[in-house]
Every structure is written in C-alpha cells, then in structure tokens.
Amino acid sequence: MKAIIEVSKRGSAVRSARAQLAASRRGTSPDFKLSFESARMLFSELTPARVDLLDTLRRVGPCSVYALAKAAERNYSNVHTDATRLEELGLIERNEEGQVSVPYESVEILVPLAQVA
C-alpha cells in the first residue's frame, strides 16, 4: 500500500474518502489518499524535514520518538512535534507500546501544474 498526497479541488477529499471507505468494505486495501487545496498548504504540512523523517522511520522500522530523533540526528522536541503532526495526517501510526511506524511502502506527491490559457 502507498500514500498518495495530492493537490486537488475542494470536495475531492470527500470523494476520495468515500472511495476508500467503499474499497475497505469490499475487503480490498486501497491506497491512502491525502488531499490539500493548494501546493502551499501541502508543503507547509509536508516540509522537507517531515519527508526526511518519514524516510528515516521507514528505514529504521517501528521505534520510539526518542530513537527516531537519534536516528534522524535531530532535536527530540522538533521530532516529537513533526511525528505528532504526521500521525494526525495519517502518514505514521503509533502502536500499543507507543512506537511509531510508516505503514506505507511509498509516498507519492502529486502537484498538477496550472493550465496555460
């Protein structure tokens, strides 16, 4: 399964959520989709540091936020803030022991370019 992060028009996030729900009811495992209304909003949430954190977490596997901060060679407080936001966005998960992990094989970011008139 992969995460698809995209810039899309208003209302498409609702359509995407409905499609994911329908697929899960059919027993299929749909890709996770996350939509933003603008590239500016997408990149304010998915900063280079957060993308690097996803990559580091995918490499090291499930671990504590403290261990993730050490692996990423970043300040614990900043990693904690970023991990919390990535969890809120659905890009990382936390297990019963409090360890965080990335449940996706890959993350695709789709940003359509404006049409030329």
Task: Identify whether 98 is part of a domain.
Answer: yes
Share of the chain above pLDDT 70, in %: 79
Residue with tokens 């995407």: 16
Q: What is the pLDDT of residue 112?
A: 83
Q: What is the pLDDT of residue 52?
A: 96
Q: Which domain holds residue 36?
A: 2-110
- Angle at Cα 82 formed by Cα 81 and Cα 83, nearest 5°? 95
Task: Identify whether 57 is part of a domain.
Answer: yes
pLDDT band at 18 (very low <50, low <70, confident <90, very high): low
Task: Identify whether 24 is part of a domain.
Answer: yes
Give dist(CA 43, CA 66) in Å, integer.
25
* Count of structural domains within the chain: 1
Report whether pLDDT(21) > 80.
no
Task: Identify whether 116 is part of a domain.
Answer: no
Task: Name which of 8, 33, 21 is nearest 91 in CA terms.
Answer: 33
Q: Are 4 and 91 in contact, with CB atoms under 8 Å apart?
A: no
Q: What is the pLDDT of residue 115?
A: 42
Residue with tokens 């940003």: 111
Run of H or E including 111: none
Beta bridge partners of 35: 6
Task: Identify whether 117 is part of a domain.
Answer: no
Domain of 37, CATH number, reads: 1.10.10.10
Between residues 96 and 12, which one has the greater pLDDT?
Answer: 96
Q: Are 65 and 76 in contact, with CB atoms under 8 Å apart?
A: yes
Task: Identify whether 39 is part of a domain.
Answer: yes
